[in-house]
Structure 1
Amino acid sequence: MIMPIRQFQAQRMHAPRDFQRIENTPICVEIGAGKGKHALLFSEQHPDLSLIAIERTREKFLAMQKQHQSEGQTNLTPIHADALPWVVHALYPAQVQQFFILYPNPEPHNPAQRWLNMPFFEFLISRLQPNGNITLASNIPEYIAEAEQQLQEVWKLPYEKQIIASDSARTHFEIKYLERGELCQQLIIRKPEHYSTRFDEMQPRQGQAVETLSEQAHVD
């Protein structure tokens, strides 16, 4: 079943507590970084890329922060915040090289809160560079299948589906699922050169609701 998508009300998002703006430079962003296993590994393996790792749960964020302080990657910035308002207030149009959403909550009782079913996903696409990627991983085949359908029917975005190798160890969840013998898959979603959204001209605004510069853009 195709989930209907409303327009995201970005102007209603207020900046997170203790919010600090970032520079408009190319970055990668991990949403729901947990204790930071993937973020720490990625930043170590890609010293030429800057990664912002967002985690909402305080306990997990503090664990990531402690490990980061121990390892000291200068290209990693852990952020303690809810991802939606932080993305709206912090990120510039077409700024992000890669988004990582690894093993998100499948929201079994609230399908509208799954990433590709949310109106917010259109805003997320607007922050992605042309030819940039979103990596979405899950151990739930139905979650991946639904996301594929949304990509085909709603978002009209090209993607590649991959089976994650049994020895992969990017996150604590991934290790646990693969040790159980579960099928872990990911979608590598690409933003085409001339893809447009209704939020392509929206700039971040600190400390207040944001405003759109154009209300008439559309998704091609």
Structure 2
Amino acid sequence: MQIRQFQAQRMVAPRQFQPIENKPIAVEIGAGKGKHALQFCTLHPTQILYAIERTREKFDAMHKQAQLHPTENLVDIHADALPWVTHALYPKQVTQFFLLYPNPEPHNSAQRWLNMPFFEFLLSRLADEGTITLASNIESYIEEAEQQLKELWQLPYEKQIIPSDSERTHFELKYLQRGELCQQLIIRKPQGYKTRFDDFEPLNGQGHV
């Protein structure tokens, strides 16, 4: 299976976009109401986490929680992830990406993370030996992602069953309380892994259609 190349230069900057420094960070895409983001920042006070959420209602809830439980290492971002990542992130900047319970896109498989041209760009932003954590309660989603990792992206990964007492996100808590099987793939980018975007610098608000 071939995936067309992501058109990074066509990405228009998010509203009120602010460039960021080129230093190691973690990034959560689809951070929801911020449950995992706040937990992560509390447990890892020396690591900066950028938590991105597109939906206004969920972002407002996360922002409120961040104000109630302030941590210096959490940066919450209200934006669509694709243009924000394209404009903000530098090559090999991110030590960890978190994709926790993304929309399974049951009617549009091309929009699933590992089926998207954008996934190659995401990999270019990941540091050598960095990881992407992809979690889902849908077994077929995990199985398809595994197949793509083996056949298309050729990346090493570890498949894990998420413990029944885990509660990183509101979705995870709900699924596990129902007794559903939740799994995650810890995807690792090995030294020397190449993408077509390894030299692509962030657009920093300069993208155009």
* Shorter-chain TM-score range: over 0.9
Name the amino acid aligned to 1:9: Q
Distance 2:131 2:56 in 1: 28
Which amino acid in the other structure matches residue 129 of structure 1? A
Question: Displacement of 1:100 after TM fit?
Answer: 0.1
Task: Report deviation, 1:20.
Answer: 0.2
Percent identical across equivalent pairs? 74
Aligned match of 2:35:
37
Match of 1:157 among 147, 155, 158: 155
What amino acid does structure 2 have at the position aligned with 1:175? L
What code does the residue aligned with 2:133 have? T
**What does residue 54 of structure 1 align with?**
52
- The answer to whether the 8 Å contact 2:158/2:185 transfers is yes
In structure 1, C-alpha distance between the alignment counterparts of 2:159 and 2:169, rounded to whole Å: 19
2:34 and 2:204 map into 1 onto residues whose CA distance is: 26
| Structure 1 residue ranges (4+ consecutive) displaced by more than 2 angstroms after TM superposition | none
Equivalent residue for 2:104?
Answer: 106
1:159-185 deviation per Cα after TM superposition (whole angstroms, max 9, x unaligned): 000000000000000000001110000
Question: Counterpart in 2 of 1:148?
Answer: 146
Give, in whole Å, the separation in 2 of the partners of 1:207 and 1:185.
36
Is residue 2:175 matched to residue 1:189? no
Pairing 1:179–2:186 present: no
TM-score relative to the length of structure 2: 0.98
Match of 1:169 among 161, 164, 167: 167
> Partners in 1 of 2:201 and 2:141 — Cα distance?
32
Task: Report the secondary structure of 1:105's partner residue.
Answer: coil
**Residue 104 (structure 1) shift:** 0.2
Matched, 1:134 2:128: no
- Aligned positions of 1:65-104 closer than 5 A: 65-104=63-102
Alpha-carbon shift at residue 79 of structure 1 (Å): 0.2
> Secondary structure in 2 aligned to 1:134?
strand
What is the deviation of 1:206? 2.1
Distance 2:44 2:164 in 1: 22
Question: Distance between the aligned counterparts of 1:29 and 1:208, measured in 2?
Answer: 22
Aligned residue type for 2:45: P
Number of residues of Structure 1 aligned to a counterpart in Structure 2: 208
The runs of 5 or more residues in structure 2 that have no matched partner are: none
Q: CA deviation at 1:5?
A: 1.0
Tell me the SS of whatever aligns to 2:127.
Answer: strand
Flag structure 1 segments of 5+ consecutive residues without an equivalent. 211-220
| Alignment partner of 1:14 is 2:12 | yes
Q: Deviations over 1:76-113 (max 9, x none)?
A: 00000000000000000000000000000000000000
What's the TM-score once normalised by structure 1's chain length? 0.93
Residue type matched to 1:140 in 2?
A: I
Q: Which amino acid aligns with 1:79?
A: I
Distance in structure 2 (CA, Å) of the matches to 1:114 and 1:138: 12
Paired AA for residue 205 in structure 1: L
